[in-house]
Structure 1
Amino acid sequence: MWENHDDVLAQVQSLGLRVDSLQVNSAKPVRCYVEGGGREKRGWYWLTDFRLPRQAGGEGLYIVGSFGYWQGNDHNKYKVKLNRKGPALTDADKKAIAERHRENARRAKAEREAEIKRAARRAANAWRHYTPEGTSDYLERKRVGAHGVRFAPNGSGTIAIPAMDAPGRVFCLQVIRGKNRGGKLEKQYWPKGAEIAGKWFQIGSPTAGGICLVVEGFATGATLHEATGLPVAVAFAANNLQPVAVELRRAYRGARILVCADDDYIQKCRACKQPTLVDSTVCEHCDEPHGQVNPGITAARAAAVAVSGAWVAPTFPGDRERKKLTDFNDLYHFPDGGLASVRVQVEEAIQRAGWQSVAGGATGAGNPQRGAGGRRAAQSVMSVDDAVERFLPLDDGTGKFVFDTWTRKIAHKDQMLALLPADSKLADVKRHPTWIHRGAYYLDEVGFDPSGKDAAVRLNTWKGWAMEPKQGNCETILAMLEYLCSAEENSQEVYDWLICWMAYPLQNPGAKMSSAVIMHGPQGTGKSAVFQALAQIYGDYSTVLNQRGLEDKFNQDWVESKLFLLAEEVVTRQEMWHIKNELKELVTGDWVRVRPMHMTAYRQRNQINIAYLSNEGQPLPIENDDRRHLVVWTPPQLKEEWYDELWLEIENGGVPALYNYLLNVNLEGWHPKKRPPMTQSKRDLIQLSKPSEDRFLDEWTAGELDHPIGPCGSKHLYTAYQRWCRANGVRFPRESNQFLGRLKKLNGWSSAPKYIYEDLHYAGSPRKQRMVIPPPEVLEKARKAKPADETLQVWLTDCFFAFQRSLEEPGPD
């Protein structure tokens, strides 16, 4: 039935997807098993058919579409290669196929959103039918309380734990059944198709600026809450720790996130499949690299970095004897462990992070913090006098906002009113003499001014640096940075410039660099570790940005009062072009627009300095005349011992030591507009970023194509460009009007009607023909300039037909 069924089946099978036949025109992607992928259906394909011309004439039915396999959050997508020998696809065919792909994607997105909504409705309905009282084998075994979970009404011992968002909407249930199936406890996420990413179960109540613990499992979370009194978010799985931490930080402004990791210290060796300790890179059974990491600690560390938080894993007071003892509930049950050990280890982690916490569940929101001015104790009720002293009215035309002098932030008027005594009203505030006579401030007089030099800022949200510089050892961090620059020919110049770029904003708070850093290269080289250390120095004035954050219409969490932005894999190849100008404006623009949720948008002076990190060969586009970016391609990763030493240094005071080092860098002759040095990596990235028409013209005028260099017919040149695009895998060539329009804008090029003869006999009257004529310097170099003894018409005619003949030879396809 399909002309290319066997070929497509072979492509799908070659990727490791276990399929014997194909389902075509399915309503949604088809899931399948993958070789070595375990019992989960990680593979997928989504195919449709399309009528296309055959070589022998007529039309045939061909399969088009895509396939891949899920690995974490990556769907590893591959498009079906259409191996046809028929006539070339027309532009209409290509557009129709592309539209089919887009329609499938739209339909899949809509179906997934509808599936999530249906699952959420079912989960919420089931949750309402569970009861708040009951017994559970699981809770008894773990020796923890229910803390808000519910019980099956039939008394079976089954409990349900809802996965919710910040407003408390239920999206999914984790169902933990009583003992059955051979005495095993069974866990299940219900219903099928539910969304759990970025959703959590809350034990206790987080607060803005307070400490919140994030854990994988419910028993771990209940243990930690009972031991410390702190609020806990249960993320259900290691790969959900970071999404949950990010959502918590978004929902509870300034919340300090401590991720409490599972210590998955034993994993199966990928070579021999035997369980082995992962603290060494070599399997203890087969002496081969085991290829594993500690997933619990790896996920916790990444989550903590994403929200400028901290992480801690349990330390067991004795030999675990290779048993599956990994979390804080296991520490609770461990000999010589207990709740006291749990509490002590968490409190030590909080102290290492420089946060304050008190017994009984206080979050530290009201305790003094490091930095300028300290912090006053939080209040549940304030007198009208105290509230008037604390809050300042803002004149923005609405009367809805005030300035909180304690937190140094814009606040909604309702936040002030919520603190007043029960019998007080807004009218009591407005009648207060201080409120009347002190006056108000305009919204644009509120600003973030670390330098203290902006006369327009009367209410400054800057609170000083959180970190204190300390004498110490940061040699490994600096050595790693030097190694990351070592692949460039001018590596010493690059390293010296980069050190100054990092040091200047720390020595001059609020300084805006007119440049950004792009560091890309192989995975695991250490670039994230170095720049995340820099982000820790900035504390709350830095943020780690991802693609979702960049495209979110509400940007307050990563724009307001920020000085350093670490963008890790923000821009993928498919997405980079449409946000190119936004990124450019972030690097050099004087202002950024802050758009909070439920508040009026306002602008703030742009003081954000940006470093982009990527494992891609082309992380984002660079223009030919770019002066904004330092581009560095990192060398391969070093031996494991290097990175062990790096992490140990970071964990043992390396970051405050790096801060101290950067504060003492000699910046004589350096300034914020200092242009970054040119690197070979930047030249390569510029070349990769060129549009297809520019790269074609470069190759043509360099003599790398089988077409003569010189004047030619515009249609002939566009035909040559189309062939070049097919040969070089350019998926979306420019249309002819765009191609010629771009050509005419290039210096010295022209595309205009000229008079040429009908043939090489030069007989008859010349006719008009639109010709493309390269610049004089190109013609001179190619020795194609018009000879002095020839007329213009004869010369153009010769060139026209010479180029036409080159197209008659077999093309690049």
Structure 2
Amino acid sequence: MRAAGWGGRGMTHTTQKDWPLERGRPRTEAPPKAPPRHTTIEPALLEALAECGVTGLTVHADGVIHRFDASDKKRGNRCGWYVCPSLDVAVFGFWHTGEQHTVITGGRVDPTTTLETRLAYQRAKEQREAEQRQQWTRTAEQARRWWAAAESADPHHPYLLKKRLAPHGLRQRGDMLLVPLFLGGELVNLQRILPDGSKRFMAGGRIRGAASLLGRIAGADTVYLCEGWATAATLHEAVGQPVVAAMNCGNLLPMARSLRSRLPASVAIIVAADNDRYKSGNAGLTKGREAALAIGARIVWPEFPCAECACSDFNDRQCCALGEVVA
């Protein structure tokens, strides 16, 4: 027997005539259909958004794609979106999680509703991609202007002194060190490092698939891949091989695949992972292993002589060995 569903957004209702008869038993009455919670799409959408932690919006059922801040990210992230393709249907989601939800005022989800939902999502996706490309272009242009106008980094910059590193081609804007990120041979973003060690990428710029390089890959027999610039500089000084800094652990896998596809098979790639030993899941080592496994590369990671320090990468290991415990 097929059970009946009723009430709520997006639920179907099976009527009495759809229920099969069982031999020797009278026809069973179908339960009455519960009235829809909302008769217009705006309050229905607001309720669904509130269930996802999004409040304080004024929604518009105008067929236009609207953006809003996701509650689990910093203010101004604009990772959420919604659109009401009709007065009975709304679609919303979050780009950073891939979620997508459909809200209807009541009744059956019919083929028309399904088509409206699919088209609404596609329009939202295309608009987001177009906006993102435009933002990437604007940020890359600003990064190139800053880089061209910047001076060579001061070897006595507090961050370089703390990390015991040479500038290795970095530039400086005011008191900020500038780390260049390249994609396809073009400068697309900058990481700014302040004297206290805090780091910020340029807002809206490319990060995934982009990286910073120390040394020359041409003619090398081994290339190292790691997360941060300081780790890359430490490895480059220690082994004399080119090192690619992916800038974060989430970018290790894309960069590993990119390097393997571009480099001859004779060139070895070694993933030098961070060892986030005190963090749940140890993202540095987990993502490092994932990247290494994907391309069949070797993986190395640092071990530490200290017990109470916060060391996690190869630069920390070097400083720790010199008696400078990382707090």
Match of residue 49 from structure 1: 84
Structure-2 change in CA distance of 1:265 and 1:26 (3 Å): farther
Does the CA-based 8 Å contact 1:47-1:63 persist in structure 2?
Answer: no
Structure-2 change in CA distance of 1:50 and 1:241 (3 Å): closer
Aligned residue for 1:29, secondary structure, equals strand
Correspondences of 1:589-738 after superposition (within 5 Å):
none
Does the CA-based 8 Å contact 2:273-2:301 persist in structure 1?
Answer: yes
Residues 210-243 of structure 1 deviation map (CA, whole Å, 9 limit, x = unaligned): 2111111111111111111010011111111111
Q: Distance in 2 between matches of 1:82 and 1:208?
A: 61
- The residue type equivalent to 1:261 in the other structure is A
Correspondences of 1:444-593 after superposition (within 5 Å):
none
Q: CA deviation at 1:78?
A: 2.2
Q: Distance in 1 between matches of 2:65 and 2:42?
A: 19
Does the CA-based 8 Å contact 2:46-2:59 persist in structure 1?
Answer: no
5+ residue gaps, structure 2, are 1-37
Structure-2 change in CA distance of 1:174 and 1:88 (3 Å): closer
Does the CA-based 8 Å contact 1:46-1:67 persist in structure 2?
Answer: yes
Match of residue 50 from structure 2: 13
Match of residue 33 from structure 1: 71
Does the CA-based 8 Å contact 1:175-1:188 persist in structure 2?
Answer: yes
- The residue type equivalent to 2:82 in the other structure is L
Structure-2 change in CA distance of 1:307 and 1:266 (3 Å): same
Q: CA deviation at 1:125?
A: 1.7
Find 2:281's aligned residue among 290, 293, 305. Answer: 293
- The residue type equivalent to 2:84 in the other structure is D
Are positions 1:174 and 2:191 aligned together?
Answer: yes
- The residue type equivalent to 2:48 in the other structure is Q
Find 2:176's aligned residue among 158, 171, 179. Answer: 158
Correspondences of 1:250-329 after superposition (within 5 Å):
250-254=261-265, 255-267=267-279, 292-316=280-304, 318-321=305-308, 323-329=309-315
Structure-2 change in CA distance of 1:301 and 1:96 (3 Å): closer
Find 1:68's aligned residue among 94, 107, 114. Answer: 94
Does the CA-based 8 Å contact 1:28-1:108 persist in structure 2?
Answer: no
Are positions 1:131 and 2:151 aligned together?
Answer: yes
Structure-2 change in CA distance of 1:26 and 1:208 (3 Å): farther
- The residue type equivalent to 1:4 in the other structure is I
Aligned residue for 2:191, secondary structure, equals strand
Q: Which of the pair has more CA radius of gyration?
A: 1
Structure-2 change in CA distance of 1:238 and 1:41 (3 Å): farther
Does the CA-based 8 Å contact 1:224-1:328 persist in structure 2?
Answer: yes
- The residue type equivalent to 2:119 in the other structure is E
Find 1:103's aligned residue among 120, 123, 126. Answer: 123
Aligned residue for 1:188, secondary structure, equals strand
- Structure (1 or 2) with the greater helix fraction: 1
Match of residue 135 from structure 2: 115
Correspondences of 1:79-90 after superposition (within 5 Å):
79-85=101-107
Correspondences of 1:339-418 after superposition (within 5 Å):
none
Does the CA-based 8 Å contact 1:30-1:45 persist in structure 2?
Answer: yes
Q: Distance in 1 between matches of 2:140 and 2:124?
A: 24
Q: CA deviation at 1:94?
A: 5.0
Are positions 1:146 and 2:164 aligned together?
Answer: no
Structure-2 change in CA distance of 1:148 and 1:221 (3 Å): same
Match of residue 18 from structure 2: none
Q: CA deviation at 1:32?
A: 2.1
Does the CA-based 8 Å contact 1:26-1:46 persist in structure 2?
Answer: no
Find 2:204's aligned residue among 179, 189, 193. Answer: 193
Q: CA deviation at 1:95?
A: 4.0
Q: CA deviation at 1:11?
A: 1.8
Q: Distance in 2 between matches of 1:337 and 1:232?
A: 26
Match of residue 202 from structure 1: 213
Match of residue 234 from structure 2: 223
Residues 750-791 of structure 1 deviation map (CA, whole Å, 9 limit, x = unaligned): xxxxxxxxxxxxxxxxxxxxxxxxxxxxxxxxxxxxxxxxxx
Q: Distance in 1 between matches of 2:79 and 2:102?
A: 13
- RMSD of aligned residue pairs (Cα, Å): 2.7
Q: CA deviation at 1:63?
A: 4.6
Q: CA deviation at 1:7?
A: 2.0
Q: Distance in 1 between matches of 2:215 and 2:302?
A: 21
Structure-2 change in CA distance of 1:50 and 1:225 (3 Å): closer
Does the CA-based 8 Å contact 2:41-2:90 persist in structure 1?
Answer: no
Q: Distance in 1 between matches of 2:135 and 2:209?
A: 17
Q: CA deviation at 1:22?
A: 4.2
Q: Distance in 1 between matches of 2:176 and 2:277?
A: 30
Does the CA-based 8 Å contact 2:192-2:199 persist in structure 1?
Answer: yes
State the identity as a percent.
24
Q: CA deviation at 1:172?
A: 0.8
Does the CA-based 8 Å contact 2:66-2:83 persist in structure 1?
Answer: no
TM normalised by structure 2 equals: 0.77
